[in-house]
Amino acid sequence: MVSQPMINTPIDEEVYKGLLQELEQYRKQHERLRLLFNVTRNITRELTIDRLLLRIMDEVKNVLNCDRCSVFIMDDENQELWARVAHGEDEIRFPSHLGIAGYVATTGETLNIPDAYADYRFNPNIDKKTGYRTRNMLTIPMRNKRREIIGVFQALNKFGGPFTNDDEELLDAIGAISAGQIENAQLYEEQKKTFDSFLETLATTIDARDPMTAGHSKRIAKYADEIAKVVKLSDTEREVLRTAALLHDYGKIAIREAVLTKKGRLTPEEFEHIQRHPDFTRRILEKINFTGKLKDVPKIAGAHHEKLDGSGYPQGLKDKEIPKLSKILAVCDVFDALTSQRPYRDRMNFFKVLTIINKGAGIDFDDFYVAALKKIRLDRLLVILEDEHQEKLRPGDLAFLSSFTLTDLMFAHAEIEPTLEQQKLLSVFTKYYTQAYFEKSKDDYI
């Protein structure tokens, strides 16, 4: 068999160029789809509006290779555009027709501006205010499925030159993907606000039954969240903890009012009756349809009086039998009870409170969460302690206290010869804790 000679047919140069162009188009399309897939995957993980917007901006910065990105959301009710989070900026609001973002929101046009300062619509005041220098910018409208403009994307300072037509198409696609997620996040936030308002109303209602514990449940929720931040609980755990904290005393609704508001010493039968309130809390909350991440709220709220050594109530649970979030509530509940004013007494001496908490560590309370309590910043602690008199808190004093924790305060108190800074720390904190500011005129604390 005779082999056939290979025939080398030359390819026309124009055809060759055409093939290369097609290949490049396919490569760009593939890369674009890959980028959009990654963006979609990453932003759909976020539910809260703040984290979603921050995630979107990070994705846009990476995809477009630019220095900054902002997402402005339409507030139709106030006719404003706002950006709650932005790279390098705090929240800003402005009328929805002003500036380049306002122009795009009003007209629906895309603006690709290679030289920002050469465009009459650019407002240089923000650059002057921040010290930033805007060179080029790409601004597109963000539309929902109904083609309504719900916001504006703005990308600033592309590295290596102005934004391209490909950048416009890519940002437009990201905008279409993001719009639905933003609307979902806004709906979620509205529903969460409604739910939180409902929880706080329930907490206020039960606290109002007992004048001695007014504001107790809300303070417990705040103390608990501070501990949660110290020990780095997840956002989900923090939400569960806050819900359980606000509702932990709801079982008091089943306690006889004569017992709940009695001023004298309780009889053994009355004391036993009031000790049933955590069990009432659990049973009442079990009738609410807590599902998903909140399903353990009844159990957590109902165990806030349990102790590590099993001497607590209502079930006498021990150590590992007690939910960890209940252990946080237990510390906060006692701390608030000891540091709150009562109609019949002032606040307990603060260092006596800490002594009681410390002695209970490892017996009544989990020492891990006692240690976390002592790591709370003093400015945050004081804002909770003085929740009804926050107008008395001087910003300068809070700024000073923000550098110290409860541990620092304890060390200062234990020193035989405290330093000048420790003396100031003790003086400033004690002034507020003992509410000595009431001896001064209001003008002295403005």
How high does pLDDT run on average in the chain? 85
pLDDT of residue 54: 81
Sign of CA dihedral 140, 141, 142, 147: negative
Task: Compute the average pLDDT of residues 353-368.
Answer: 96
pLDDT of residue 163: 92
Q: Which residue has the higher pLDDT, 421 or 291?
A: 421
Task: Compute the average pLDDT of residues 352-375.
Answer: 97
The proportion of the chain whose per-residue pLDDT surpasses 90, expressed as a percent, equals 46
390 with 369, same domain?
no
Q: Kindly report which listed range (25-39, 84-98, 128-142, 329-343) carries the lowest average pLDDT score.
A: 25-39
Per-residue pLDDT band for 69 (boundaries 50, 70, 90) equals confident
5 upstream amide cis, omega within 30 of 0:
no
- Domain for residue 196, yes or no? no
Of 186, 219, 246, the position where a domain reaches its end is 186
pLDDT of residue 386: 92
Inform me whether the pLDDT recorded for 381 exceeds 60. Answer: yes
- Domain for residue 194, yes or no? no
Per-residue pLDDT band for 78 (boundaries 50, 70, 90) equals confident
Inform me whether the pLDDT recorded for 87 exceeds 60. Answer: no
Q: Which residue has the higher pLDDT, 3 or 109?
A: 109
- Domain for residue 198, yes or no? no
59 with 166, same domain?
yes
What pairs with residue 365 in β-bridges?
A: 361
pLDDT of residue 303: 97
pLDDT of residue 107: 92
One-letter amino acid at 194 equals T
- Domain for residue 193, yes or no? no
pLDDT of residue 290: 87
330 with 355, same domain?
yes
Contacts of 249 (CB under 8 A, 6+ apart): 203, 206, 207, 213, 216, 217, 277, 281
pLDDT of residue 443: 41
Largest Cα–Cα distance of the chain, in whole Å?
Answer: 118
358 with 386, same domain?
no
Q: Kindly report which listed range (69-73, 129-133, 403-407, 424-428) carries the lowest average pLDDT score.
A: 129-133
Q: How many helices (H) and strands (E) does the chain have?
A: 18, 6
Q: How many domains does the chain have?
A: 3
Task: Compute the average pLDDT of residues 420-427.
Answer: 96
One-letter amino acid at 409 equals L
**Residue 254, φ and ψ in degrees, nearest 5:** -95, 0
Percentages of the chain per state (helix, strand, coil), in multiples of 5: 60, 10, 30
The proportion of the chain whose per-residue pLDDT surpasses 70, expressed as a percent, equals 84
Of 357, 376, 395, the position where a domain reaches its end is 376
Long-range contacts of the stretch 189-194 (C-beta < 8 A, 24+):
189/48, 189/49
**Residue 169, φ and ψ in degrees, nearest 5:** -65, -40
- Angle between helical axes of 216-230 and 165-209 (0-180°, round to 10): 140
Burial of 20 (0-12, 13-18, 19+ CB in 10 A): exposed
Domain extent, residue 441, equals 377-446
pLDDT digits (tens, 9 = 90+) for 332-360: 999 999 998 776 667 899 999 999 999 99
CATH no. for residue 65?
3.30.450.40
pLDDT digits (tens, 9 = 90+) for 135-186: 999 999 988 888 888 889 889 999 988 998 988 888 888 888 887 778 877 7
Rounded CA-CA distance 382/401 in Å is: 9
pLDDT of residue 132: 86
Rounded CA-CA distance 70/61 in Å is: 10
pLDDT of residue 284: 92
237 with 347, same domain?
yes
pLDDT of residue 88: 47
173 with 276, same domain?
no
251 with 352, same domain?
yes
363 with 381, same domain?
no
Rounded CA-CA distance 401/432 in Å is: 11
- Domain for residue 203, yes or no? no
Q: Which residue has the higher pLDDT, 160 or 405?
A: 405
Long-range contacts of the stretch 55-58 (C-beta < 8 A, 24+):
56/174, 56/178, 56/181, 56/182, 57/85, 57/86, 57/87
357 with 290, same domain?
yes
Of 186, 221, 242, the position where a domain reaches its end is 186
Q: Which residue has the higher pLDDT, 80 or 88?
A: 80
Per-residue pLDDT band for 28 (boundaries 50, 70, 90) equals low
345 with 387, same domain?
no
**Distance from the first to the final alpha carbon of the chain:** 107
Task: Compute the average pLDDT of residues 80-96.
Answer: 69
Per-residue pLDDT band for 6 (boundaries 50, 70, 90) equals low
Rounded CA-CA distance 12/19 in Å is: 11
- C-alpha distance from residue 211 to each of 1, 208, 344, 354 (Å): 109, 6, 11, 25
Stretch (H or E) spanning 99? helix 99-107
One-letter amino acid at 1 equals M
Rounded CA-CA distance 301/40 in Å is: 38
- Domain for residue 74, yes or no? yes
43 with 150, same domain?
yes
pLDDT of residue 445: 32
Rounded CA-CA distance 175/164 in Å is: 16
Task: Compute the average pLDDT of residues 209-225.
Answer: 86
The alpha carbon of residue 74 and the mean position of all alpha carbons in its chain are separated, in whole angstroms, by: 22
- C-alpha distance from residue 267 to each of 270, 337, 344, 435, 440 (Å): 5, 21, 19, 34, 42
What pairs with residue 356 in β-bridges?
A: none
Q: Which residue has the higher pLDDT, 73 or 36?
A: 73
pLDDT of residue 211: 65
- Domain for residue 18, yes or no? no
Burial of 366 (0-12, 13-18, 19+ CB in 10 A): buried
Contact 152, 104 (CB under 8 A): yes
The alpha carbon of residue 184 and the mean position of all alpha carbons in its chain are separated, in whole angstroms, by: 18
Inform me whether the pLDDT recorded for 43 exceeds 80. Answer: no
Per-residue pLDDT band for 257 (boundaries 50, 70, 90) equals confident
DSSP three-state, residue 289:
coil
Contact 296, 240 (CB under 8 A): yes
Q: Which residue has the higher pLDDT, 285 or 206?
A: 285
Q: Which residue has the higher pLDDT, 390 or 341?
A: 390
Contact 305, 275 (CB under 8 A): yes
97 with 240, same domain?
no
pLDDT of residue 444: 40
- Domain for residue 191, yes or no? no
